[in-house]
Amino acid sequence: FRHGEPSSIKVPTPNGDVYFGEEHPLVIVAGPCSVENEEMIVETAKRVKAAGAKFLRGGAYKPRTSPYSFQGHGESALGMLDAARSATGLGIITEVMDTADLEAVAEVADVLQVGARNMQNFALLKKVGAQDKPVLLKRGIAATVKDWLMAAEYVLSEGNPNVILCERGIRTFDRQYTRNTLDLSVIPVLRTLTHLPIMIDPSHGTGKSEFVPPMAKAAVAAGTDSLMIEVHPNPAKALSDGPQSLTPNQFDALAAELLPQRVPA
């Protein structure tokens, strides 16, 4: 059983239109957790583009657990993302945390990310639903599938049909070995419930770079439409999420293995 015709979400980028959905090739979104400076984001963008990524990710506004952790460079990081976009033609995916920043973020982002911690920020969901850019809606850390789909409905019901659902791991009772429990069972489950495209984020899902390739492969085997992978030029020096970030060389190897596995019908 499947839920109607699968959505096909077209995202124009300088390099051409990219499509998310079940009938399209695997789309890989890659880049650092945080935009740290212009040089690193442009360098990372060039490397992930060469490996086959279609979108660059990178946080300007970071939802950190502790208010004393690096919060992202904010508006200046949006300018750095724009520079990386110009240098590579990659589409940009970055998080909007606050309705007050929506306009500025939407000027640079080709897809607006709503983070796990804001999955039920209904004011934000309504605002991203009332504008034109596609929305990447991450699953909340303790959200049921129904909670998540209802959050998506907040965007859809405001008139924006372009929502991509991103599983990024749910709260685990065993944080000794993994940061979260990556719920890959949502891939077949969502297929029975929704037409919306699916993305899997094994970086936040596991929290450890060594576990990212096997879980990315498992996600593709289970039929994900897209992947989000954190990549940093020097993970040991990253300002956020270094332990789960692949190096550009590690990302090259993974993308080369995955991209040929899901080509258009």
**Residues near ligand PEP (CB under 6 A):** 33, 59, 63, 115-117, 138, 168, 204
Q: Which is nearer to ligand PEP, 8 or 242 (CB)?
A: 242
**Torsion angle defined by CA atoms of residues 238, 240, 246 and 252, in that order, rounded to the nearest 10 degrees:** -80
Q: Work out how close the CB of 139 gets to ligand PEP at its nearest, in angstroms, rounded to a whole number.
A: 8
Partners of 30 in beta bridges: 56, 229
Binding map of Mn ion across residues 32-51, x = CB under 5 A, - = no contact: -x------------------
Q: Name every residue whose Cβ is closer than 8 Å to that of residue 125 and which is 6 or more positions away in sequence.
A: 114, 137, 151, 154, 155, 158
Q: Please, which residue, 26 or 114, has the CB nearer to ligand PEP?
A: 114
Q: Mark out the alpha helices in the chain (DSSP H runs).
A: 38-51, 75-88, 102-108, 122-129, 145-156, 186-193, 202-206, 212-221, 248-258
Question: Does position 95 bind Mn ion by CB under 5 A?
Answer: no
Does 241 bind Mn ion (CB under 5 A)? Our answer is yes
Backbone CA torsion sign across 176, 145, 5, 130 = negative
Strand partners, 228: 29
Question: Closer CB to Mn ion, residue 30 or residue 33?
Answer: 33
Closer CB to Mn ion, 52 or 235, in the complex: 235
SS3 label, residue 232: coil
Instruction: Tell me how far apart the alpha carbons of residues 205 and 17 are, in angstroms, rounded to a whole number.
Output: 28
Cβ nearer to ligand PEP, comparing 225 with 230:
230
Site track for Mn ion across 141-160, x = CB under 5 A: --------------------
What Cα–Cα distance (Å) separates residue 228 from each residue in 18, 64, 74, 193? Answer: 15, 19, 21, 22
Q: What is the smallest separation between the CB atom of 90 and ligand PEP, expressed in angstroms?
A: 16
Using CB distances below 5 to 8 A depending on partner kind, what does residue 138 bind out of Mn ion, ligand PEP, none? ligand PEP
Contact 179, 206 (CB under 8 A): yes
- CB closer to ligand PEP, 26 vs 60: 60
- Residue 191: which of ligand PEP, Mn ion, none does it interact with, CB under 5 to 8 A by kind? none
Nearer to ligand PEP, 24 or 138 (CB): 138
Instruction: Give the CB-nearest residue to ligand PEP.
Output: 115
Q: What's the CA dihedral at 27, 30, 33, 39 to 10 degrees? A: -140
Q: Which residue has the tokens 């109607």?
A: 4
- 134: partner contacted, choices ligand PEP, Mn ion, none (Cβ within 5-8 A by kind): none
As measured in angstroms, the least distance from the Cβ of 57 to ligand PEP is 7
Q: Which residues bind Mn ion (CB under 5 A)?
A: 33, 241
